[in-house]
Amino acid sequence: MTPFGARLREMRRRKGVTMSEMATALGVSPAYLSALEHGRRGRPTWFMVQRIIAYFNVIWDEAEDLQRLAEQSDPKVTLDTAGLDPKATELANLLARDIGKLAPAALDRLIAEVKKGTAEG
């Protein structure tokens, strides 16, 4: 599941609507919506995110957060480390191989460290 998919599911459940009801309102199939929630589809388009924002009638901050999550929710990531420090290539390969084995707490620590490192850079 992607961050966007998890948030979408949370918002749908909070509103108390079924996947079929929401899919009909958005003009998509329930299968598409299910795939979006479970991360079996690529990142949603800007247009689709805007339709979801309108459907849930969310405020600006939450709308911006939803758009940010959509941008960070491509389930098939490609990394090009050519020209970077060899450690970047090592890290990318380690993540590709072992990311499924990492506990949620370890993922949280890695995310925080990457965010911290890019904020300082």
In whole angstroms, give the CA distance from residue 89 to residue 106.
20
Torsion of CA 18, 19, 25, 27, to 10 degrees: -160
| Confidence label for 121 from pLDDT (cuts 50, 70 and 90) | very low
Count of other CB atoms within 10 angstroms of residue 75: 15
pLDDT at 120: 55
- Which CATH architecture fits 3-71? Orthogonal Bundle (1.10)
The residue type at 117: G
Percent of the chain's residues with pLDDT above 90 = 53
Q: Residue 51: CB partners within 8 Å, gap ≥ 6?
A: 26, 27
Beta strands in the chain (DSSP E): none
pLDDT at 32: 93
pLDDT at 51: 94
What is the CA angle 69-75-79, rounded to 5? Answer: 100
Tell me the CA distances in angstroms from 102 to 74, 92, 97, 113, one per residue in order.
Answer: 19, 14, 11, 15
User: Which tens digit of pLDDT belongs to each residue from 19-67?
Assistant: 999 999 999 999 999 999 888 887 888 999 999 999 999 888 889 999 9
The pTM of the full predicted model, rounded to 2 decimals, is 0.68
Burial class (CB in 10 A: 0-12, 13-18, 19+), 61: exposed
User: How do the domains of the chain map onto residue ranges?
Assistant: 3-71, 86-120
- Least confident piece of the model among 7-11, 43-47, 74-78, 114-118: 74-78
